[in-house]
Structure 1
Amino acid sequence: MTDLEAVAPEARRARLIVCSTCRHPDGSPVDAQGLTGGQRLLNAVIAAGEGTAGLEIVEQACLWACSDHCTVYLSEAGKPAYLAGRFAPTADSATALIDFARRYVDSPQGVVPYRDWPEGVKGHFIARLPAQES
């Protein structure tokens, strides 16, 4: 039994990291209110993810994926991680991200079958990264 297997599934936590410095889809660094696209997406993700068990939403300044605005990174120890971008900073995008993240959290191996992907995440994945043990 690995250390990860010894941790009860309900005690594990996935992290959805949202880049707060990403530009808007139109290329502008900030909108009329002075917010970046990343800040808008982060606010929407926090609202959509409120009360989601097993998921921590984290702000990160620059994920170095600047050509893929509004970028997020989803990971949990022992599961593959996902980098995704090119999202609109909207409630619809946030809802799709949280829906995918919930399915990821509920999956013992972190694999969400394509048929279960929300439409709003299809075509947005940049990379699937190998699992890390801690």
Structure 2
Amino acid sequence: MLKKVENGPAVVVCNTCQNSPEAREDEHGRHGGERLAEALTRLQASDPRYDGVAVQDMPCLFACSEFCTVHLRAPGKVGYVMGRFEPTENAARAILDYALAYSQSDWGAVPYEEWPEGVKGHFITRTPPEGFVVE
């Protein structure tokens, strides 16, 4: 079943992702995706710079060979799936900093030199927006 959400720049986080390659849950029985979703939501709510980027969560992005995955999307822009994050505030900040630059880009491409260190090496896929492919 689908749930209607705002149609704008968003970080969609998998709230059921495993905690790490070795463990689905932490010592308290919490999934890494749940913890990352909380860190993203908390940080987004505490910093007005991120007001233009929604944090949304859903179960399973089907990137199960990875862990702590997010999907970055916006209308008319290339989307990205990133993963292998630790469910921490530092990772949440890197994701939201990248999402902010992404939301301000013309079609979803952010120059590499503007990428926060915390997202480098975390990209899994990119997806074209409906009706387009990348040249």
**Structure 1 length as normaliser, TM-score?**
0.85
Moved over 3 A (4+): none
SS at structure 2 position matched to 1:57: strand
Displacement of 1:120: 0.3
- How many residue pairs are counted as aligned between the two chains? 122
- From 37, 57, 64, the equivalent of 1:42 is 37
Contact 1:84 1:127 in 2 (8 A): yes
Equivalent pairs: percent with the same residue?
Answer: 42
Q: Distance in 1 between matches of 2:126 and 2:83?
A: 12
For structure 2, the residue ranges without an aligned partner over 5 or more in a row are 1-6
Gaps of 5+ in 1: 1-11
Q: Match of 2:66?
A: 68
Q: Do 2:44 and 2:51's aligned partners in 1 also have CA atoms closer than 8 Å?
A: no
Q: Indicate the SS of the match to 1:105.
A: helix
Cα distance in 1 for partners of 2:8, 2:30 equals 29
For the pair 1:93 / 2:88, whether they are aligned, the reply is no
Distance 2:38 2:55 in 1: 10
Distance 1:132 1:84 in 2: 20
Superposed, 1:1-134 pairs within 5 Å as 13-50=8-45, 51=48, 52-132=50-130
Question: Residue 26 of structure 1: CA displacement?
Answer: 4.5
Q: Could you report, residue by residue, the CA deviation over 1:80-124 in whole angstroms, capped at 9, with x for unpaired residues?
A: 000010011111100000000000111122211000000000000
Q: In structure 1, how many angstroms separate the alpha carbons of the residues matched to 2:32 and 2:51?
A: 26
Please state how far the C-alpha of 1:28 moved relative to its aligned partner: 1.6
Letter in 2 for 1:80: V
RMSD: 1.4
